[in-house]
Chains A and B, each alone.
Chain A
Amino acid sequence: MTNEFYIYLSILTPLISFFITPLLSSNPNLRDSLGPIGGIITFYSSLNVASLFLDGEILSFTFFQISETLSISFKITGLGVIFGLVASGLWILASIYTIGYMRGNKEKNQTRFFTFYSIAIFAAICIAYSGNLLTLFIFYEVLTFSTYPLVAHKQNEEAKKAGRLYMGILVGTSIVFLLPAIIIVWVLTGSLDFSTNGILKGNISNEYVPFLLALFAFGIGKAALMPFHKWLPAAMVAPTPVSALLHAVAVVKAGVFSMLVVITYVFGIDFLSETNGAVWLIWISSITLLLSSCIAITKDDLKARLAYSTISQLSYIVLGGAIATNIAVQGAAIHIVMHAVGKITLFFAAGAIYVATHLSKISDLNGMGKSMPLTFIAFFIGSLSIIGVPPMGGSWSKFYLMLGSVEKDYLLVIYILAISTLLNVYYLLEIPAKAFFQQKRTNIQVTKHPLTVYPTFFAALLTIILFIYIEPLKDITNLIFGN
C-alpha cells in the first residue's frame, strides 16, 4: 500500500458518500448511517496521513496536469494535516448529531441535505490537502456552491434571501479579489505551488506586498474579515447542524486555513516580517475582533450571537497569521482546532435546545438549565474553552497568540486580546447563567432527542481532552515551516 493511499481514501470517502446518498433515499436508516461510517473512515485515513507526515514522509501527487504551470495537485503540509483532522474528526460527531436533529425536527428534503453535506466535507478535505493555489481555489468555490442548498434549505423567502447574500459575498469576493490575486502570483512567479518558505520572495517589489496581501485577505471571504462578514450571520437560517459543522468548522475554517496557507506558503512569514507587509492586517483583524464581540452582546438570538462570536474568533486566527512569527502562526493553527471543537459544542447545544423546546431567543432560556442539564453544562464548558480558561483547550491557542505578540512587541494587541476575552465572558456565560440561576417563566414542553444531547456533551469533553493531550498537535505545528 503506497503512502498516497490514505490521501486518496480520505478524499474519496465523502465523494463516494455524495454519490451513494441520493440512491438510498428510500431507506433513511441506511442513508443516515453513511455519515458516521464515512466520517470514521475519513478520520482514520487522516490520522494515518498525519502520522506519515510526522514521520517525515513527503506526500504529494498530481491529480491532473492542465498545462505546464497549471495542475490540480495535492500535497500534505503541516497546516493541511491539522485542518484535515479537524474537518474529518468533527464530521463523525456532526453526522451523528445531524441524524438526531433532522429527525427530531422532522425536516423535509433530508436526502438532499445529506447529499450536499457530504460534498461540502469532500471540498473541505480537498482544500486541506491542496498543493497549489489553483487547487485551493477550485475547491474553495466548490465548497461555496455545495453549501448553498444547505443554507437555503428551508426554501422560504428568508432562506432564499440569506442564500443570495451568502453566495453574493462569498463568490463575489472570491472572483473579484481572490482570483486576480492568484493570477498575479502566477504571473510574478510562474508557479502556484506552495512552498514552506513562500514563493514570492524576490519576485515582487516590497511596496506591492501589502496590496497583494489585501487582495488575498478580502478575497477569502470565508475568513469573514470586516467588512465582508455579513454572510456568516445570514447563513444562520440554515438548520443548526449546518451552522455547527459548516459555519463553525468547515467553511469558516477553510477560510482562515486559506489565509494561513497564503501567509506562510505563498508569502512566507520571514518575507512578510521583513517587508512589514502584514502590519495593516493586524489592525484590521483586531478591529473585526473587537467590533464583532460588541455586536454579539446586542444579539438576543442565540445563533446570531454565536455567529458574531465566530467572526471574532476567526479574526484571532487571521491575527496570528498577520503577526507572522513562528509562535503566532502555530497559535493560529492550534486555534483552528480549539475554536472548532469549542464552537461546535455551542452550536450543538443551541440545536439541541431548539429541537427540544423550539426556543431560539436567549431571553426565553431562563431557568431551562434544570430541564436540560447535560446540554447546558456542555454549553458552559464550551464557552470556557472559547474564552480560553484552563483546563480547556482554548487556553493553549490564546497563550501562543499572546506569546507571538510579545515577541514582536505589539503590546496593544495584547490589550485587545484581553478586552475581547472579557467581552467573551460577558456574552457567552450569560446564557448558562440565565439557564441555571433564573426562574423559569412559562411551562415549556421539553422533548429531547438523545442523538442531539450526547454528541454535544462528548464535544464538550473533547475540549478538556485536547487541553491535556496537546503534544501531538504541537508536534504537527512544529512542522508547519518544514523540518
Chain B
Amino acid sequence: MMPFIVKNLPILIVITPLMFSLIVAVLNNYRLAWTLSTFASFLTMIFTILLCFEVSYKSNISYYLGNWPPPLGIEYVIDRISIIPIMIVSVIGLIATLFAHNFFTLEIDEKLVSKTYSLWLLTIAGLIGLITTADAFNLFVFLEISSLSAVALVALGSKVDRKALVAGYNYLILGAVGATFYVIGVGLLYGVTGTLNMGDLAQKIPALGLNKSVIVAFTFMMLGIMVKAAVFPLHIWLPNAYAYAPSPVSVLLAATATKVSIYIIVRISYTIFGSSYEIYSFESLRYILLYLAILAMFAGTIMAIFEKDVKKLLAHSSVAQIGYIVLGISLATSPGIASSFIHLINHALIKAGLFMSIAAMGYYTSKRIDVKTIAGLGRQLPITFFSFIICALSLAGLPLTVGFISKLYLIKAAYISEGIWLPFLILVSSALSLIYIWKLIEGLWYNEKSLKIEKIKELPEIYLPLLVITFLNVYFGIDAGLIIDNSFIASDALMSGIK
C-alpha cells in the first residue's frame, strides 16, 4: 500500500479533492458534506507533507500520467519550486475548510450547501493541478476547472448581497478572456514546436531562433495569466469578487488563487522561455513588469485608503501586495525571485488571517463589516480582534511577523539590482499602507461602538483556525529560516534554467 501511495503522490494530491467533490455533490446532508470535505483536504495535506519529504531528497519527481511518457502523455512535475505553492494551497485549504462550516450554513441556501462544498473541493483540485502539471495544455484545463468553480462560488454570495452575481459575472468574463488568451498562446507554440510539454518546449524554442510566432505566443500566454493573477491594471475583477463572495471563499481565493497564477507566470517566463532569454532579450519585458508592479503598489494602497467596506479594502490591499510579489519576479535575479516566493507564502498567511477575522466579525454581528460597524467591536470580540491586529501589523510589516521578513528580503533584492530608488518607492507605499491599517485598528479599539449588540460569545470552531493562522504569522516571523531557505533553493533552481 505505502509504496503505491508514495509512487503516485503527485496525482493523489489532485485526485483526492477531485473525487471527493463528486461524492460531496450528491449528498443532501450538509454536515456530512463538511466532514467529508475536511477529510479530503486533510488527506491532501497528508499527501503534500509526504511529498515534501520525497522532494527534499529526490529534488525532482517526474510522474507520467497513465504511464505515457512525454511528449505524448501528460507529465506531472514536483520539484523544489512547485512544492511551495502546493504547500500553500493544501495548508490554507485545510484551515479554510475547517473554518467554513458555520459561514456556509449561514450565508448560503441550505439546499446548496453540499453543492458549495463540491465546488470548493473542485477549486482546490484545480489549483493543485495547475501547479503540478508540466503540460501547457493540461494547465489550461486546470485553469478552467479552478476558475469556473471559483466563479460559481463567488456568485453563491448572492443570498447575502445580490451584487455577488455581478461580481461573479465579471470574474467569469475576464477569466474566460484570460484563459482564451492563454490557450491561443499555447496553440501558437504547438504550431511552431509540435509539443506541449514544458521541458520539451524549453528545449525546442531556442532552436527556432528569433521567431515572431513565439513572441506572439509568449505575449498571449503572459497576458492571459496576468488577468488571472490580477496584476495591475488587469485586476478589476478582483475587488468585487473578494468583497461579495461568501466569507470562506474570500479566504480561499485571496490566499491561494492569485498566488497560484503568479507561480504560473514564473513557470512560463522561466521554465518555458528562460532557455531563450538571450535570444528574445526579455530585458524590456522585465521593465514592463517592474513598472506595472510599482503602479500596483501605489494604486492598490491608495484605493484601499479611500475604501469603506473592509472586505473590499483588503481586496485592494491584495492588488498592492501582488505588486510586491510581481516586483520581485521582475528583478530577474535569484534574491528577487526568492523574495517573491517568501512573500507568496507570507502574504497567503497574512490575507487568510485578515479575511478570516473579518468573516468572524461579520458572523457574530450579522452585519456587513465596514469602517463604521467595526467601531468598538474589538472590546467585544477580544480573540478575533487579537488575531486581526497581529495579521494587520504583519501586513504593515512590523518586526517579529512574517510581513517584516518579506519586506526585508524584497528591499534587499531591489536595492542590489536597482539601487536606492526602488526600495524607497516600496517603503513609501508600505508606509502609506499603514494609513488604512491604522484606520481599522483605531476603529476597532478606540471608537465608541455604533452597533447595539448583546454580549457575544466567541465560538471555538471559528477562533481556533484563526488562532492557528495568527500563530503561523508570528512563528514564521521569528523562525523564518524554513521559508527563506526553501525560497532561495527554489529561486536558484529557476535561475539555473536561464540562458
Contacts and interface: CB of A to CB of B under 8 A. Distances in A.
Which of A64, A67, A139 has most B Cβ within 10 Å? A67
Contacts of A167: 434, 438
Interface residues of B, number: 32
Given A138-B399, A179-B427, A187-B416, A66 B442 contact: no
A175 interface: yes
Contact of A172 (B393, B405, B434, B478): B434
Closest 5 CB pairs of A and B: A138-B399, A176-B427, A175-B431, A172-B431, A180-B423
Interface stretch (B14-22, B125-133, B223-231, B480-488): B480-488
B431 A176 contact: yes
A172 B428 CA distance: 8
Interface of A: 64-67, 70, 72, 137-139, 141-142, 145, 149, 152, 155, 160, 163-164, 167-168, 171-172, 175-176, 179-180, 183-184, 186-187
B479 A186 contact: no
A176 B424 contact: yes
B438 A164 contact: yes
Given A172-B434, A175-B431, A137 B399 contact: yes
Interface string B409-433: 0011001100010011001101100
B446 A187 contact: no
B488 to A, nearest CB: 9
A291 to B, nearest CB: 26
Nearest to B480: A66
Contacts of A163: 442
Contacts of A155: 446
Contacts, number: 73
B415 A180 contact: yes
14 contacts: A64-B478, A66-B405, A67-B484, A138-B399, A139-B399, A141-B398, A142-B400, A160-B446, A164-B442, A175-B427, A176-B427, A180-B420, A183-B408, A187-B412
Which of A168, A176, A186 has most B Cβ within 10 Å? A176
B312 interface: no
Contacts of A67: 480-481, 484-485
Nearest to A180: B423
Nearest to B430: A175
B400 A138 contact: yes
Nearest to B400: A138
B431 A184 contact: no
Interface string B389-413: 0000100111110001101100110
Contacts of A171: 396, 431, 434
B83 to A, nearest CB: 20
Contacts of B400: 138, 142
A313 to B, nearest CB: 28
Contacts of B396: 171
Contact of B407 (A65, A164, A172, A179): A179
B480 A183 contact: no
A163 B441 CA distance: 12
A160 B431 contact: no
A257 to B, nearest CB: 18
A65 B481 contact: yes
B446 A179 contact: no
A106 to B, nearest CB: 20
A448 B108 CA distance: 63
A179 B411 contact: yes
Contacts of A172: 431, 434
Contact of B411 (A139, A145, A168, A183): A183
Contact of B427 (A145, A160, A168, A180): A180
B415 A184 contact: yes
B285 to A, nearest CB: 26
A160 B423 CA distance: 30
A180 B446 contact: no
Given A67-B484, A160-B442, A175-B431, 19 more contacts: A64-B478, A66-B479, A66-B484, A70-B408, A137-B399, A138-B399, A142-B399, A142-B400, A160-B446, A172-B434, A176-B428, A179-B407, A179-B427, A180-B420, A180-B424, A180-B427, A183-B415, A183-B423, A187-B415
Contacts of A186: 412
